[in-house]
Amino acid sequence: MHLSTEFRILAASDVHADAAARKAEGWRYVQMLAVNNEDSVDVVYSYMKDGLLDNAVVEALPRDARLASITDVYLEAFVCENEIHDLFGIPFDGLAIDFLGNFYRLSTESPMTIISPEKLAEQEKQRKLAEKKAKAEAAKTAKAAGEAASATDAKADAAALDAEMEAKLAAMPPEKAAKVRAAMEAKVKKQAEDGRDA
C-alpha cells in the first residue's frame, strides 16, 4: 500500500466539527501533538484512511486559548488532550476523561515552553504596561467626551437664558427694554475688556 501525508490549516473553532466529519467518513484517529512557537502553540490533529495521513494544523493558538475536546468523537484522544494541557497549558472544553492538570506530576507549570522565565517575566511586564497605557487612553478619551458634553450643556443653558431674557424684554415697554438691553451689552463689553486685560 502506498502511504502519503497531507497537511491542511484548520481554524480552532472548527476542530470538533472536523473530527466529527472525519469519524463519519471512516477516518481513524492517530494522534495529536503540540508545537511551541514563541508566543503561541500549533496543535496538529492526525487522521488516517486508505494510506493517507491527514494532518489538520491549528496554527498560532494563543497561550490563553481553549480548544473543544474531540473525546466525545474519538475517546482515545483523552491521552493527548490531557498531555497537551499539562505540558503546553492549553485547556480542552468537554474533555471526557479529565485529569485536571494531574496527568503528569510536574514540578514546573507548562514545562514545554521555549520561553525563559526572564523573558516570560519581561513579556508579562510589557503586557501590564500596555494594559495601563490603554486604560489611561480610555480615561483621557472619557474625560474629553465629558468636557465636550459639559461645553454643549453650557451652550444650551446660555441659549435658554438668552431666550428667557428676550421673552422678558419683549414684555417690557419699549423704552425700558432698550435701557435694559443697553445695560446688558455694556456689561458684556466690560467683561470682554477685563478678560483681555487679565
| 198 vs 191: CA distance, rounded Å | 11
The per-residue pLDDT for 192 is 76
- What pLDDT shows up at residue 71? 96
**pLDDT for residue 13:** 97
Residues of the chain with CATH 3.30.460.80: 4-114
Q: Which pLDDT value is given to residue 190? A: 79
Mean pLDDT in order along the chain per 10 residues (198 residues) = 90 97 97 91 97 96 93 96 90 88 62 62 79 82 75 73 75 74 77 71
pLDDT of the residue at 198: 58
Say which amino acid occupies 13. Answer: S
Residues near 84 by beta carbon (within 8 Å), at least 6 away in sequence: 32, 33, 34, 43, 90, 92
Amino acid identity at 179 = K
What pLDDT score does 50 carry?
94
Q: What is the pLDDT of residue 1?
A: 63
- State the fold for domain 4-114: Beta Polymerase; domain 2 (3.30.460)
Strands 40-49 and 92-93: unpaired
pTM of the full predicted structure?
A: 0.55
pLDDT in the model for residue 76: 96
pLDDT of residue 3: 87
